[in-house]
Amino acid sequence: MLIFITNVLSGGLNLKQSQKKVAIMQTAEKLFYQHGFHAIGVKKILEQADVATMTMYYHFNSKEALIKDILLQREQRYFQFLAKSINQDDDVKNYLESLVQAHLNWIETHGANGCLFLRAQQEYAGINEEITTLVSDHKGKLLAKIDHDLQSFNTSADCALQLTVILEGATALAQTIELNSVTETAFALLRSILK
């Protein structure tokens, strides 16, 4: 009986710790995205997340470890978002249009302030190789995913890179130009690839 109670209590504690970890990650991601990585200290994250310092360091041994986990989680959410939205069953035109639209929808709901990965690259280049490697890996995974998807459509070898440039350009420009204009231009560029 004592073992059962201990397991239930420790399970409850783990659930609470998981909720605290989620609170830390969500708060930190929001603050990093709004203000940058170096502009936000651990103290600010903990105040906003209403979490004790010990709890932070129980889950993450450093601010950089937190950043890496945030980037990995964001990457997972992005690729899941794409997977739900991309039409791979029809022809190449439908695939490409659905991919561009999915990316633009991501920008509208999760990324109007630019790419968190590129922000990490800018702030940690020459400072933290693990973080900058995560950024390079992420960009490489996107290109590889598109290239893999396009193989079944028998497209030109450079189509995946061209499409990735459209997506990355849309992400960058959505910070300074109205998203409707970015969307129109992205689809115009896409049509020129399809010719």
In tens, the pLDDT along 88-140 reads 887 899 999 999 999 999 999 987 788 999 999 999 999 999 999 999 999 99
User: What pLDDT was estimated at residue 8?
Assistant: 39
User: What pLDDT was estimated at residue 16?
Assistant: 53
Both tokens assigned to 40: 């936000």
User: What pLDDT was estimated at residue 90?
Assistant: 76
User: What pLDDT was estimated at residue 194?
Assistant: 83
Tell me the average pLDDT of the chain: 89
Spell out the residues 6+ positions from residue 66 whose beta carbon is closer than 8 angstroms to its own: 24, 25, 28, 45, 56, 59, 60
Considering only the top CATH level, what class is 1-60? mainly alpha
Q: Provide, rounded to the nearest whole percent, the portion of the chain with pLDDT above 70.
A: 91
Both tokens assigned to 80: 């899941």
Place of tokens 């450093």: 62
Residues 155-182, mean pLDDT to the nearest whole number: 92
If pLDDT is split at 50, 70 and 90, which confidence band does 68 have? very high
The rounded distance, in Å, linking the Cα atoms of 72 and 60 is 14
Closest C-alpha among 84, 65, 70 to residue 33: 70
* Other C-beta atoms lying within 10 Å of the C-beta of residue 67: 23
User: What pLDDT was estimated at residue 146?
Assistant: 94
- The domain segmentation of the chain, as residue ranges, is 1-60, 69-195
The matching CATH number, chosen from 1.10.260.40, 1.10.357.10, 3.10.20.600, 3.30.1490.20, for 69-195 is 1.10.357.10
Q: What is the DSSP letter of 1?
A: -
Spell out the residues 6+ positions from residue 114 whose beta carbon is closer than 8 angstroms to its own: 171, 172, 174, 175
The model's pTM: 0.86
The rounded distance, in Å, linking the Cα atoms of 76 and 78 is 5
Q: Which amino acid is at 17?
A: Q
In tens, the pLDDT along 2-40 reads 443 334 344 444 555 589 999 999 999 999 999 999 999
Q: Do 69-195 and 1-60 have the same topology in CATH? A: no
If pLDDT is split at 50, 70 and 90, which confidence band does 70 have? very high
